[in-house]
Amino acid sequence: MEVDIKDSKKIDFSNLVDLINFDTFYGRGGSFLITPLHQSKVFSKEMFSEDQKMFANAALEYAETRLKPVKDEFKTLNKDLTLELFKEIGEMGFLGVDMPEEYGGSDLDKTTAALVVDYLAFSECGSLLVTLGAHSGIGTLPIVWYGTKEQKEKYLPKIASGEWMSSYALTEPNAGSDAMNGETTAYLNDEKTHYILNGQKIYITNGSWANVCITFAKVDGKMTGFILDKECEGWVIGAEEKKMGIKGSSTTTMFYENCKVPVENMLGTIGEGGHIAFNVLYAGRWKLGFSSAAGCMSSMNGAYKFALERKQFSRSITKFDMIKRKFANMVIKAWESDTLNYATTGSIDHSIEKLDKTDHDYYVKVQKIIEDHAIEASICKVLGSDALAYCVDESVQIFGGAGFIEEYSAAGVYRDERINRIFEGTNEINRLLVAGTFLKKAILEEIPIRDVIFKREENMIPDVNQSGHELEIEMSVIEYCRSLTLKTLDNLINIYGQDLKNKQWVLEPLADVVISLSVMHNGFCRYNQLESGGHKEKTLTVLKVSISEHYNKMIKNVKEINCHIMSKMNLEDDNKNNDFCMSNDSSILALNYCVNTIALKKEICDEFYKNGKYYLNV
């Protein structure tokens, strides 16, 4: 593409894309969509600092020696034990990892805060993890980010120490995913000393145990945040819900019956509530990804121990190939989730560490960085919770009839898992966020998506120094998938324009295309950064299967989209229509990409059996 300008010189716009320094996009949300492999890097747990290793070891030791022995006591509501452990965890510093030091926290990075969740999750105390997550995430960060100095001084030290438990109340009977449609109201009393809240909040984690609650109400129709505490007259707690799972956690309805909230307890400003409510959910999403990945590992480990003892046809069921396939799939899904989790927090930390903590707008900038990673946060949540659903379901299958009996662990874990695909935004909402944010970043040109689309129109597999690399073909496949992802978005924008955000039939498979690209891209980068040795060799087999399976998933999803929009593409003839629907491209066909995934999964299961547990942690 060339254009004439006044001095008769010509600009080749395709060459301008070559001037983009993709290295500078590390730390930007969505950078995996455009950054070629040879200019990419990711953070992974193999890169832990000494402080991070110390926190990980401490959390794991506490999980295995203190929490795991009492996990069965959380099969029912157990307030006394929960509060006892909650205070212990606070005393160990785990509740305030990324809270400011001046208010009792450690002021560490997002990765360290998340890895505490990761390693505590090996306790297999799902209910307790839910309690801790609601407290230290959505129940605390709004005060850290938006609170006044006085609010922080009053609440954060007690929240960090475990003296007070916090909660977060947003959902209403008629406002779940559509949170901005909430009907709870607030008005300023005549004395101008209190806001009077009236309304109802449902499914509130920590509801009956919390001393503090972050909640939302409309002031003159504008969503606004408030901090409630036990001094707020009219804050009424309903009965405990009888739940399918996480029975050891508190979940209640809250009623605001002319609830008197001091004016100094308004969080942020009038009308800022929506911003507060949604921004804090991003951190909850990636933390849920961390606990889900750990849950995958625990589930497969438990299933393996049981399978060793379960005999059919005079031998352990671990000898049967269908069981081996299940364990191999579990390893792969756990590794993928783990990879995406740390890649996300590492990218966020990379940008946050450049900020000046003395800057008055420090937390405003922190929030913008986190919001910029909306795609990654949602992928962590969706990928992790879907992986855990698979691992837990297959664990029940491996347990057989025992998996259906409450005496065994699989049944409780199966019930506990189900909530993960619902809270922190349903997986459907998060898929809409992935696709919608992808669209927004392209239209607003937050990252040069359009430029890269233009550059790759004629060459779907650019040179990324793959020649001679041990994964030369896989690198080409990933770059093809990057081009295909961008091309699919471009086609959809050309057909629907900004109305694409309302086309859920195509947004859902588009989101899954993005998720698959993210897994392939970050998985390769993690592997490519590893030092040579046994760990890298063991990772290679997992990576190869992961790339193959996500490539196939992506092709399937793109075919579905293309078959739907083909009639609107105005292609020249039936052959081109067929090629478009089948996603046939000469560049990818020429690679003859074919992976013996059965042989690789045999290797993965053999390694899993040799170790007797998930083996890719460091």
Burial class from Cβ neighbours inside 10 Å (0-12, 13-18, 19+) for residue 325 reads middle
Going by C-alpha positions, the residue among 179, 245, 169 that lies closest to residue 202 is 169
* Per-residue buried b or exposed e for 543-581, using 16+ beta carbons within 10 Å of the residue's own CB: bbbbbbbbbebbbebbebbbebbbeeeeeeeeeebeebb
Angle at 206 between CA 172 and CA 115, to 5 degrees: 110
Question: Measured between alpha carbons, how far apart are the two ends of the chain, in Å?
Answer: 50
Q: What letter represents residue 84's amino acid?
A: E
Name the packing angle between helices 321-352 and 597-611 (round to 10°).
80
CA-atom Rg of the chain in angstroms: 25
To the query of whether residue 424 is one of the catalytic residues in this protein, the response is: yes
Residues ≥6 apart with Cβ < 8 Å to 242: none
Structure tokens at 397: 């299958």
Structure tokens at 151: 């609010």
CB 277 within 8 A of CB 171: no
Structure tokens at 555: 């092709």
Residues in the chain: 618
- Measured in whole angstroms, the distance separating CA 205 from the mean position of its chain's CA atoms is 19
**What sign does the CA torsion over 465, 466, 471, 476 have?**
positive
Structure tokens at 145: 């980010």
Burial class from Cβ neighbours inside 10 Å (0-12, 13-18, 19+) for residue 226 reads buried
Going by C-alpha positions, the residue among 479, 545, 489, 541 that lies closest to residue 513 is 489
Q: Which of 172, 336, 394, 424 does the annotation list as catalytic? A: 424
- Backbone φ, ψ for residue 110 (5° rounding): -70, -30
Structure tokens at 489: 């978005």
Structure tokens at 132: 């801790």
- Looking up tokens 């990252």 gives 447
How does strand 266-267 pair with strand 251-262? Answer: unpaired
Which sequence positions are flagged as catalytic? 424
